[in-house]
Chains A and B, each alone.
Chain A
Amino acid sequence: MPPVIGFGSVVLVLVAVEILIRIGLINRFIVPLPSEVAENFARVIVDEDILHRFLLTAWECLAAGVLLTAFGIAFGVLMHRAPLFRRACETWVAAFASTPLVLAYPLFLVLFGRSALTIIMLAFLSGLPPVILKTLEGLSATRRVLINVGRSFKLTPAQQFRKILFPSALPTIFVGIRLGLIFALINVVGVEFLINFGGLGQLINELAERYDLAGVYAAICFVILVSVVFFVTTERAERWLRSVR
């Protein structure tokens, strides 16, 4: 029942906005009619080649995701293996996580040009700290008894890592990857919008510059939909991984 009430309330608000615009209490040149936005959804999908844009954004996210997974896990493992290096750098990584790196996008534009590489590099670097920190957390939280079992079998350090440490840390590492991917998606769409290049983010910027209000709202709804699907999918994958463990 509560989800129905929640959804019903959202519909009610939209109906109220529709009525307020139609009777002139809200300016329709500032807020488009919700029905008009719904009608424009199909137009934006077909006319603006949204599938191609979606694939472009997805590709940029994937590239950033592969990079942050590879480098994040490698860096986390390195920090776990070298305690002195960890003590020296862990606070730096945490501080790096709190920097608004996306604001350096003009610098990345100079370094990598107005290209997908700028978007991918920014997304990769923004999503890197959670992967490093969660890898480190997962490896450090491996139960002592499991490590001792490995020792009793006289496993080599590589075997110990492959058979004990990594499988034990995997669910926590995945939490980091998931966070990193969410940061990457936010940054990919955000930077696409800011530099007017690429997929879904650029679409919103282009429609805004054309003053296509209904189109802007429809495109924003589409991006929200993509973000929610992405968020739910990674969340389910995380739950599945924990249950398999």
Chain B
Amino acid sequence: MAEIGPLTRARHAQLRLTPVGLLRAVIVLAVLLIWQILAVSGWFYGDVVPSLPKIWAALVKLLSRADFYWNLWVTIDEIGVGLAIGGLSGLVAGLVIGGNKFIAKAFEPYLYYLGPTPKIIFFPVMIMWFGVDSGSKIAMGALSCFFPIALNVAAGMRQIDSVLIKVGMSFRANPWQMATKIHLPAMRHPMINGLRLGLGVALIGTLLAETKLSNRGIGFLVIQAYNNFDMPRLYAVLIVLFVLAIGANALVAHFSGLDEIKQK
């Protein structure tokens, strides 16, 4: 019973509307109202701006269908494998580049300048190399996330406190022990940050590839809704996609402790 008091108080505190909460509620309501006015105004052709009940109905229908979860699983699988391949390669490349100044000067500029190029243009090449099935989408995810992860790991390696490295050396740690006991724990946060960035770009790379050429996955659902001009469904798929993307990003940041770092 003793714990009910603070819990109830906390719940009341959450329910109390602060000025910021009130403003947010006003903004959201205003946007929804404007949307609904536009939807019923007849200014747009057909369902270009569908009414809110139509989008809601499409959302409920989408989430209640088994094929949505099958397609979602296909996409998650492709992103996961792509992230694992690109992430591991990025980790190794970052460790090698960050740990050796000579290699860094020789090869890091290539990573640095290739990083911000649009990766989707490599899709025709990936189709030739890995086929039209999941392989090319996984490759797009891996290629997209390799660069941010490698660059972040390399930067993280250089930021390691030299005292920690000296401690490791004074204990005569071998390279494996140095990597597992000193380097990797000390650069946990740059690595997680790279993973967060990598996840975002892997998601984009994989899904864009699915919209271009695929018969499965969430990207395919997006382009299928567009091809059938099923606008409420298109909005519903995009809403789910954006919520999942923001959620995944927030989850990685939360569980990796990046939120705490930002607060400090």
Contacts and interface: CB of A to CB of B under 8 A. Distances in A.
A53 B37 CA distance: 40
Contact of B106 (A3, A88, A208): A3
A223 B19 contact: no
A2 B203 contact: no
B226 interface: yes
A227 interface: yes
Interface stretch (B6-14, B61-69, B86-94, B120-128): B120-128
B234 A107 contact: yes
B183 to A, nearest CB: 22
A216 interface: yes
B132 to A, nearest CB: 12
A95 B245 CA distance: 10
A204 B212 CA distance: 13
A87 B200 CA distance: 25
Contacts of A85: 23
A98 B246 contact: yes
Majority SS of interface residues in chain A?
Answer: helix
Interface residues of A, number: 49
Given A95-B246, A106-B225, A189-B121, A6 B107 contact: yes
Contact of A84 (B23, B104, B110): B23
A107 B238 contact: yes
Interface in A83-116: 84-85, 87-89, 95, 98-100, 102-107, 109-111
Contacts of B81: none
A182 B113 CA distance: 12
A106 B117 CA distance: 22
A204 to B, nearest CB: 5
Shortest beta-carbon contacts, A-B, top 7: A106-B226, A2-B105, A208-B124, A6-B106, A2-B106, A227-B117, A88-B23
27 contacts: A6-B109, A6-B110, A30-B128, A30-B129, A31-B129, A87-B20, A103-B208, A103-B211, A107-B226, A107-B235, A107-B238, A111-B48, A186-B118, A187-B118, A189-B118, A189-B120, A190-B121, A205-B124, A208-B127, A213-B128, A216-B125, A217-B125, A220-B121, A223-B121, A224-B114, A228-B117, A231-B113
